Amino acid sequence: MSSTKIDPIVGGGPENNNSAVATRLESIPLKKLIAGGDLTYSNSLIEAVNKILKYRYLFRGPMHDGTVFDKEDHRERISPAGIERRLNNHRSCPPCEAI
């Protein structure tokens, strides 16, 4: 069995860069790389293309079930869900600390 070195590439947000993650990584032989910091490249260009494809083309036409994406309905449903998710996250664990 061959051994391949794997280093995770993460974003710069606090969910990836905090004391809990740092403590866990001390016990694992991995070096966390931060996109836009440790690396000279990122996937932001392809993510921009994906966003254009989704919102200009995919969501404007009929989907697999024949319905058209309703942006306003989506916004009305997703906003309360985001607020509830953030409230649940704050209740379920101690606050994260940025490194």
What pLDDT digit, counting tens, does each position of 42-85 carry? 777 888 898 898 888 887 777 767 777 788 888 888 888 888 88
Phi, psi of 18, deg, nearest 5? -150, 175
- pLDDT, one tens digit per residue, over 17-34 is 888 888 888 888 888 888
- Residues 6+ positions from 10 with CB-CB distance below 8 Å: 16, 17, 32, 33, 34, 35
CB half-sphere exposure, 71, CA atoms < 13 A: 8
Domain layout of the chain by residue ranges: 1-41, 43-93
**Separation between Cα atoms, residue 24 and residue 38, nearest integer Å:** 20
